[in-house]
Structure 1
Amino acid sequence: MWSDLPFDLLANIFSYLSPDSLARARSACCQWHTCSRAYLSSTTSLVPRDDPAWFLAMPTRNHRLCCYAHNPVLNIWHLVSLNFLPDPVRLVATIGSHILVRPTNSIFLQLALCNPFSRQFRHLPVLNITRTNPAVGVLVLDSGQDVPFPCFSVYVAGGMCDAPHGGARYEPTFEIYDSRHDRWQIVGSMPVEFAVRLTVWTPNESVYSKGVLYWITSARAYTVMSFEIGTNTWRELNVPMADRLEFATLVRRNGVLTLVGGTCGEDTSIWELGEGDNWGLVEKMPVEFEMRFCGGKRSWGSTRCVGSDGAIYLYRELGSGMAVWKEVVDKGKWEWFWIEGCCSIGGKLVQSFPMKGVLLQPSLAPMCASTPS
């Protein structure tokens, strides 16, 4: 019966499958393989549905050509091969259902786009200035349900570069990549002290909220560096309990800049940025989750965090569990959940390792080629 289904009906059924389920369906028979290929070539039917975002993890060391993905609907982990990549990569950010990555075989920043589920990869053009360890920010320009792949901008600020008369210096400029034109453009300067701090103390992760890009320094006492896009203005913001936090991460929740941080022997708290650059406490991790996450030590060293508008994940290594604060739409409130770490896949043990995670909505939509103007 299944082999006799019309292609359009079968394709509609395939549209409800997750990427891993669709991959298995492709190997069932010739009919399904042919239909799935036709389905994958259609951009109109590949728009992600309103399912929860997946957690995608990659190792922070010994960069292997693989990643691990957690399906929140079925609560299972998958091993995703990245053997189609030319080199090992490091996660930078998400853009729609794709990930922005940088190859690990160069000390200079080179960015690329990758869809680990459709196995597509494309380098972005080379920057105008060769930079080492600059701060990177991402702004998605459109992401509606009718957009298979969004237009986006990438902001690169600071970094080290070659000095005119030899040696190296901090680069006090920033440049922007616009996917609609597929090119980089140097658009302004920045205070040298900001360039230094973004280069030395700021990880690549950024958060965009209400016209401003934010980065947090990685050294105590923590501070937040901000760039207002409309006015090209750089500012510094204070952080609550800045000199006591053992870890601190910026995320966005319901469109608002949010800070997640934990103090040694005490709580992990969540603050939101309000009017007048004032931080307001909105949540504390329940004690039972703290004990489970820390193993009774209540030490937050090596804790990492990633968030989206609908969920905030705290994690450490691949094999350890994750504490998740997420929106429960049916109840109209946010609740805490526990996700077991990835210890085995398909009955095979998985070695644990420090990881970096992102949240994304998997899609098999093709990577649209840019059309420079």
Structure 2
Amino acid sequence: MWKDLPFDVLSTIFSFLSPDSLARARSVCRQWHTCARAYPLASESNHPSWFIALPLRNLTQSNCFLLNPVLTNWHSLSLDFLPIPVRPVGSVGGFLLLRTTNSTTLRLILCNPFTRQYKHLPLLSIPRSNPAVGVVPLHSTSFPSFRVYVAGGMSEAPYGGGGGATYEPTLEMYDSNQDTWKVVGNLPMEYAVRMTVWTPNECVYSDDDGLLYWITSARAYSLMGYEIGSKTWRELRVPMADKLEFAALVWRKGRLTLVGGTCGGDARVWELSEGDNWVMVEKVPVEMGMKFAGEKGSWAGTKCVGSESDGAIYLYKDVGSGMLVWKENGEKGKWDWFWIDGCGGGGGGGGVIRGKQVSNLQIKGLLIQPNLALSSFF
């Protein structure tokens, strides 16, 4: 009976499956495989984003690790299809943006780790090393549709400029629909230096006002904002800027949100309100904070990633240690903190996934919507 179900009925049933269950269903028979391929997006929009842990070192011949947020179980996914060593930059929908590590100048690759497709993005207009990078998803019928903004970085001095490298006071943009880079603006030299030296790749985008935000990585923390429409830069203060041991930005529920923790103290969540004022909206419970930060209460090395769609916030350190997750607990409007064991058991020393040893690794965590559809973009 099951193999004779019409595609529309079968795809409706498939829409209730999580991506890993859907992948297994595709392997049952030719009928199910064809149906899952014909309706690849049916189930993905009904599920929260997955947490993907990418090693900070070279990813070629390595694995990444994915957390199913509903069942809270981990999966290992091979990245051996990538041709050269890479490091994670960000995510857009069901795709990963990666940078190559075999070149000092920035080279980017887009890939779908589930379909094992990848594409080298074109060379930048101005070769530069160590710039700040931001990804902006676009609402379009063609997917993936996105833009990448690259600010600052070091570039070779032009001919006659005395030689050597110099800070690059320009902003470039890549448009996936055009598959080209172009210089779209300038930034003050002071900002170019800060974007190069003190700003990591983490960036959030405000769809409401067309603003990109980066946070500096040195205490006291501050925010760098770029308004795309007016091509203007601005700086925002950070609450408790000189006391935070870690600070990170996320975009959730239409609000710019900052998460930070103090040495020997607690971790807090602030939202930016009108007039560029920060309002504290949450604290990590004391017991969970002690479990995560250890006896010394150190938040050093903490990283953070947030989901724009469901508003969940993940605090993590490495692949083996446990994570703190702030999310809606099923009752509308009620939010709670949850502890999730790390990959392989959460003891901080690695573990085993389906019989394979998992070493504890420094990671960058991203949120991704598993996409099982082959894309012509690649």
TM-score, normalized by length of structure 1? 0.91
- Match runs of 1:115-130 below 5 Å: 115-130=112-127
Distance 2:245 2:56 in 1: 19
2:92 corresponds to which residue?
A: 95
Distance in 2, matches of 1:216 and 1:354, equals 21
Structure 1 residue 247: Cα displacement: 0.6
Q: Residue 181 of structure 2 aligns with which residue? A: 184
Tell me how far apart the structure 2 counterparts of residues 84 and 263 of structure 1 sit (CA, whole Å). Answer: 41
- Structure 1 residue 367 corresponds to structure 2 residue 361: no
Are the aligned partners of 1:25 and 1:33 in contact in 2 as well (CA < 8 Å)? no
Letter aligned with residue 191 of structure 1: P
Cα deviation, residue 5, structure 1: 4.3
| DSSP-derived class of the 2:64 partner | strand
> What are the Cα deviations for residues 29-76 of structure 1, in whole angstroms up to 9, with x where unaligned?
xxx246414532556x45722212110011112534321000011211
Distance 1:202 1:176 in 2: 18
Root mean square deviation of aligned Cα: 2.0
Instruction: Kindly provide the amino acid, as one letter, of the partner of residue 24 in structure 1.
Output: R
Per-residue displacement from partner, 1:187-220 (whole Å, max 9, x unpaired)?
Answer: 1111011011000110011011232100001111
Whether contact under 8 Å (1:101, 1:112) holds in the other structure is yes
Which of 52, 61, 65 is equivalent to 2:57? 61
Conserved 8 A contact 1:142-1:150: no
Structure 1, unmatched stretches of 5+, are none
Structure 2 CA distance for partners of 1:18 and 1:89, relative to 1, 3 Å: farther
Give distance in 1, aligned partners of 2:128 and 2:8: 49
Counterpart residue identity of residue 288, structure 1: E
* 2:220 matched residue in structure 1: 221
SS in 1 for 2:45: coil
Measured against aligned partners, the alpha-carbon deviations of 1:275-306 in whole angstroms (never above 9, x if no partner) come to 22111111110001101112222101111111
Matching residue of 1:325: 326
Is 1:76–2:68 an aligned residue pair? no
Which one-letter code corresponds to 1:136 in the other structure?
V
Letter in 2 for 1:327: E
Query: Which runs of structure 2 are paired with 1:139-154 in the superposition (5 Å)?
Result: 139-142=136-139, 147=141, 149-154=143-148
Structure 1 residue aligned with 2:363: 355
* SS of aligned partner of 1:331: coil
Match of 1:338 in 2: 339
Bigger CA drift: 192-201 or 47-56? 47-56
Alignment partner, residue 138 of structure 1: 135
Q: Structure 2: how far apart are the matches of 1:364 and 1:212? A: 31
1:362 & 1:78 partners in 2: Cα distance?
Answer: 12
- Rounded Cα–Cα distance in structure 1 between residues aligned with 2:6 and 2:253: 42
Mapping 1:166-185, distance limit 5 Å: 166-185=163-182
Contact 1:149 1:368 in 2 (8 A): no
CA distance in 1, matches of 2:38, 2:78: 22
Identity %: 60
* 2:316 counterpart residue number: 315
Pairs aligned (count) = 363
The equivalent of 1:290 in structure 2 is 289
What letter corresponds to residue 146 of structure 2 in structure 1? Answer: F
| Cα distance in structure 2, aligned partners of 1:200 and 1:148 | 36
Deviations 1:303-342 (A, max 9, x none): 1111112110000111110000112453312211111101
TM-score computed with the length of structure 2 as normaliser: 0.90
Stretches of structure 2 that go unaligned for 5 or more consecutive residues are 345-351
Q: Which residue in 2 is equivalent to 1:24?
A: 24
CA distance in 1, matches of 2:145, 2:79: 24
Other structure's SS at 1:279 match: strand
Q: 1:148 to 1:185 in 2, by over 3 A?
A: closer
Letter in 2 for 1:161: S
Q: Distance in 1 between matches of 2:88 and 2:312?
A: 19
SS at match of 1:154: strand
> What is aligned with 2:201?
204
Amino acid at match of 2:320: G
Q: SS of the counterpart of 1:121?
A: strand
Q: In structure 1, what is the Cα distance between the partners aligned to 2:369 and 2:167?
A: 37
Query: Is the Cα–Cα contact under 8 Å of residues 14 and 22 in structure 2 kept in the other structure?
Result: yes
Pairing 1:52–2:51 present: no
